[in-house]
Amino acid sequence: MTPSQIIVLATPVFLLLIAIELAVGYARGRNTYRFDDALTSIGLGMLSQISAVFTVALRFGLYTAVFSAVALVPDKSFWTSPVGWLAALVFYDFCYYWHHRLGHTSALFWAAHVVHHQSEDYNLSTALRQTSSGALFGWIFYVPMAVAGVPPLVFGVVGLIDLLYQYWIHTQQIGRLGWFDRVFASPSNHRVHHAVNDRYVDKNYGGVFMLWDHLFGSFEDEDPREPCVYGTRSPLKSWDPLWANAEVYAALWHESRQARHWRDKLLVWFQPPGWQSAAMAADSPKTPFDINQVKRFAPPVSASVRRFAAAQFALLLTGSGLYLWFTDGWPLWQSAVWFAVLLAGLWSVGAVLQSRIGMLEALMIESAALSMATSATGWIEWHWVFKPLTMLLALAVVGVFWRAQTGALAAQSKPVVWLVVALTGALAGDVFLMFEGFFIQGLVAFLLGHLAYLMLFRDRAPLFASRPGWLICAVIGAAFYGFLWLNGLPEALRVPVAVYVSTIVAMGSVAIGRAVVLRDVPSCMVAAGAAFFMISDATLAFNRFVSPLPHAAIGVLSTYYAAQCLIVMGVLRGLQKTSPAAANKAQPTGST
């Protein structure tokens, strides 16, 4: 049984304990859960586990390599004896202590570990909130175990024990436990660890044993007179699982770029979080942390969104369990495909909870991901469901937007009509290409759809708004068409393909020019979508006319759906900015 399968089997236990803690909290009048925060924490745990499929080589592969090369005491009989197992667990917890401590006192390691601390609640769901990037550098701290000769199997088992032990200590429903609190990691001393109070911050790093904290001066007792305040000193303020993993890396990159001295550019990555040199502080001073100004992130969430998110989350949890159970038997590319589906779903749920996208938009994104995955992995019957469904959902998103324009319908009707025509052409093209012998019909349908997009992109921008954009797109289009011609493009298709390439070039050029003129996020989304269309069509043409590509469906459909989603969402958000009716509703596009 693999470690991933053990996690799958443990998940019902985790969820049962969460339910018990929730019930106890309600019974005591001290509920510590919020719906959106708990879903985000569990979702980040899911993301951590499904992404570990791609980083396992860093932790276990490198560990095994070091063990095989330089192990000093590779005595398996000792390490698998009761004394050896206990020694390995204590050894692991010692290494974990320093891994954990550097995770708080060095910005680079904090960038990975911060995910676990971002929740402003403290409960058993917080225990599941784990990083997806910790394996990049975390393996370094356990090299001494490999050098000492702890076998990889023993290392993996004691690591799992250390991790699972820490689950139960993430609760506010268990109070102080006397002597136990001073010897072992416990709810009391781990509450201290998660607090941002001056007295508590950066304390109690032990995973199982508190011995290391006592030895190295990082132990702090919980004081009932000073309640713990949870979260981080630079709050995330988001339910986005991708941003949760990237926020500190992005901040460090920004600070490193802004620093004037090369020494500061380097040190900002390794000094404690929030560090600034005198020169950096003079250029961009940071506001000191004030615990009295801490406010929990709590955007309003309607009952319908809660129901939608709960249903979506149940499906994603089931999907993640199936993924973890079977992924070890899949080729890496297949794991990557289904990982992308789960990632799209997790991101969409967070975006809906934060009112960044509507429920229909989330379904459109998820259907697009499933269409790509089912095609790439040979689930053709399901692909035939999700391929047309995606475009139907896109049309439904537009329909909801149209219905919202009661006060500004006349002003918005023309671009909305062009968008509907474009999506209808795409839907027809998708259906034609599902059947053998209908390639030309599909090409014509897509051509009409692209022409509709071309007319749409002229909204609020002249045709030749960016001459450099036209030049770049024209050169790329001409070069690729010449490449197809020289590599066997059938004579009967040379004119139709030339027309198609010209339309794509014009569409991309106008979209770029529109972004140059409007200079806003929606127009940039549309321009990015047009660029993805060029990539998708080029990949499709290369695969059909030049040489079959391995797993071509992944490249063709992922870029195709990225294009459609970006354009639909970008166009409607652009219209929303100019529509008083939509502005007054203050609802994300695609809400129901």
Give per-residue pLDDT as tens, 331-371. Answer: 999 999 999 999 999 999 999 999 999 999 999 999 999 99
Pair 341, 373: CB distance under 8 Å: yes
What pLDDT shows up at residue 2? 83
What percent of the chain has pLDDT above 70?
96
Is the pLDDT at 400 greater than 60, yes or no?
yes
Neighbours of 72 (CB within 10 A): 9
Is the pLDDT at 581 greater than 60, yes or no?
no
Q: Looking up tokens 């794991």, which residue turns up?
A: 335
8-state DSSP, 546:
I
Give per-residue pLDDT as tens, 89-147. Answer: 999 999 999 999 999 999 999 999 999 999 999 999 999 999 999 999 999 999 999 99
What percent of the chain has pLDDT above 90?
84
What is the pLDDT confidence band of residue 58, given thresholds at 50, 70 and 90?
confident
What pLDDT shows up at residue 409? 52
Quick one: which H or E segment has residue 271?
Answer: none
What pLDDT shows up at residue 587? 57
What pLDDT shows up at residue 75? 87
Please state, rounded to an integer, the average pLDDT across all residues of the chain.
Answer: 93
Give dist(CA 339, CA 316) in Å, integer. Answer: 11
Query: Among 121-125, 390-394, 499-503, whose mean pLDDT is lowest?
Result: 499-503
Give per-residue pLDDT as tens, 431-475. Answer: 998 888 888 898 899 999 999 999 999 888 888 888 899 999 999
- The residues spanned by each domain of the chain are 3-167, 301-411, 427-578
Contacts of residue 3, Cβ cutoff 8 Å, sequence gap at least 6: 156, 160
Q: Looking up tokens 């939608």, which residue turns up?
A: 308
Is the pLDDT at 583 greater than 50, yes or no?
no
SS3 per-residue string spanning 469-537: HHHHHHHHHHHHHHHHHHCCCCHHHHHHHHHHHHHHHHHHHHHHHHHHHHCCHHHHHHHHHHHHHHHHH
- C-alpha 465: how far from chain center: 35
Give dist(CA 497, CA 442) in Å, integer. Answer: 12
What pLDDT shows up at residue 578? 73
Give dist(CA 169, CA 82) in Å, integer. Answer: 25
- Residue 232 DSSP SS3: coil
CA nearest to 74, candidates 140, 145, 26 = 145
Q: Which long-range contacts (CB under 8 A, 24 or more apart) does 266-269 make?
A: 268/107, 269/107, 269/108
Query: What is the Cβ-side half-sphere exposure of residue 452, based on CA atoms within 13 angstroms?
Result: 22
Torsion of CA 313, 563, 566, 571, to 10 degrees: -140
Is the pLDDT at 547 greater than 70, yes or no?
yes
> Which spans in 268-358 are helix H?
278-283, 303-326, 332-353
Structure tokens at 253: 């990159």
Pair 181, 221: CB distance under 8 Å: yes
Which amino acid appears at position 257 of this protein?
A: R
